[in-house]
Chain A
Amino acid sequence: MTATLQAATPDQPIREPASKVRGMGISQRNQERIVSLLAPVALLLVWEAVVRIGLMDHRFFPAPSSIVETFYYLLFQVSWDDSLVHQVLISLGRVAIGFVIGAIPAVLLGIIMGLVPLVRAAIQPLIGAILPIPKVAILPIIMLIFGIGEESKWVIIAIGVFFQVLVATATGVSNIDKIYFDVGRNFKAGRLATYRKIALPGALPTIFAGLRLGWGMALLLLVTAEMVSSDGGIGFLIWKAWQTLSVEEMYVGLVTIAAVGILSFWLFDFMERKFLPWRNRF
């Protein structure tokens, strides 16, 4: 660099070429946006083409167009009880109830665990023992206790959510910089104020991370529980499609649960922006 500058005459300094490239055409950011929109569309087109030519077995991978057709059929051409919207509402109701039952006590207990070492010492080993168990494995026991109705689905989802959120909250609280608690003590914050004004908001970013993980877990357990014993919901839809070997309907169920997942994570993003305005935006 220095050498080239020295070689140039004083009248004609060497210009950096990089500064000129930018102004032309589409900005890099927009290019990236277009590509990330076009790539999935292209993939669907290739899929459609490959199935139509006969290179891919339509019994396993039905063409996107036929899946869309089935979508339409399930949305508008069946009775309300069988319709996709109804199934989705049933599933959302279950997962929302289970999630709330699991998450709220987890946040409360997590804060206490994070603040009171004795409580932490008492609960930590229990969590260590229960956390690694795949929650699906206890579904039969839950059904034995709560029956095959709605309650067992709420309970299994709540258990899955509970442990994810509990661990995240306790970690979040115990990772809060000690100085904030010193400030609380110095300014004579009571126990309740310490929970509400310091521990909870300080742990909220980690709690949100735990809620996301918990929600993912909740969707997983929802579909599983609905497959095992249910007469409604997205999991039921997929399972019924398997039993009747209606592959398109399986894909419809798959796309639907994926859409529910994506939309709910957008909702989490929105809530995080709303409840954590103090965080550095990334």
Chain B
Amino acid sequence: MDSRHDMGPEGATVDSPQILISKLGKSFGSVTALADVNLRIDRGQFCCIVGPSGCGKTTLLRIVAGLEQHTSGSLEILHYDRRKPLNSMIFQEQSIFPWMTVRENVGFGLAMRGQQGAEADDVIQYYIDKVGLSAFHTFYPHQLSGGMKQRVSIARAFANDPEILLMDEPFAALDEQNKALLQEELLRIWEESKKTVLFITHSIDEAIVLSDRALIMTARPGTLKCDLAVDLPRPRQVIAMKGLPAYGQLSAKLWQELHDEVVGAQSLEKIQ
């Protein structure tokens, strides 16, 4: 990372915005998926958006990724280091290519940018080792478990070395043990580089464990509310931190907000 900006999330907040979203809206025909979304994410910040399924959080992420176009408002993403790709996405479903080995999958972004040879090989090997798949680098995805596949997906995104990581519920399909394990691995890798992260999840626990900042997204139309700072110390231990009093308070606060939202949505449904 560029040393001038290597100040950690707190120091960076004042002068280095990375993602600026203002009054953003998205509609599919007559259905309004997102309305009046405002969000500023600074460089190096780990930001989680929590929301129920179908609230439009994946749509927001895909808009930031450039995979979809917003229909109103503005989105500005600042690209500081032009030598690096702007963003890499880690998808929710199985998204690694079944026809490529673990090594080829991890190296996909590098290969697409024309980076091959010894240097690229070192990067690929580094992240394969990081996610604990050294013994499996010649394997094909059908030989891997679900957790291993998501590890490949994580390694692929980090090996691409983007400024921003976009994650769409990457651990949603995993069992609890694997989830905790992968969260911890993600944090460990992320803390080396402190990339800007926008992480989508439906789990409050996951948001608190991972993020510097958690927001809640309401449904129909999706919009953001309750911007909560998660100032728990890093590096974090995923299991141990769940016993901290601050963890409980944050969790209770987010639950309360989400509860109000769910109850609100239900009463709205009854009226309709």
Contacts and interface: CB of A to CB of B under 8 A. Distances in A.
A179 B112 contact: no
Interface residues of A, number: 22
A188 B112 contact: yes
Contact of B97 (A193, A201, A277): A201
A186 B87 contact: yes
Contact of A278 (B66, B87, B95, B99): B99
B113 interface: yes
Nearest to B68: A182
Nearest to A280: B142
Determine the interface band of chain B, counting residues with CB < 8 A from chain A: 20 to 34
Interface string B38-72: 00000000000000000000000000011100000
Contacts, number: 60
Nearest to A275: B99
Nearest to B85: A188
Contacts of B65: 186
Nearest to B101: A278
Given A188-B112, A188-B113, A278-B141, A201 B85 contact: no
Interface string A235-259: 0000000000000000000000000
A279 interface: yes
Contact of A190 (B67, B85, B88, B112): B112
A136 interface: no
Interface of A is mostly: helix
Contact of A180 (B85, B88, B89, B97): B97
Contacts of A277: 140
Given A180-B97, A278-B98, A278-B142, A189 B112 contact: yes
B242 to A, nearest CB: 32
Contacts of B67: 182, 185-186
Interface in B69-120: 85, 87-89, 91, 93-95, 97-101, 108-109, 111-113
B18 interface: no
A187 interface: yes
The 3 closest A-B pairs by CB, nearest first: A201-B99, A278-B140, A187-B109
Given A188-B109, A278-B140, 14 more contacts: A179-B91, A183-B89, A184-B112, A186-B87, A187-B108, A187-B109, A187-B156, A188-B113, A197-B97, A197-B108, A198-B97, A202-B97, A278-B141, A278-B142
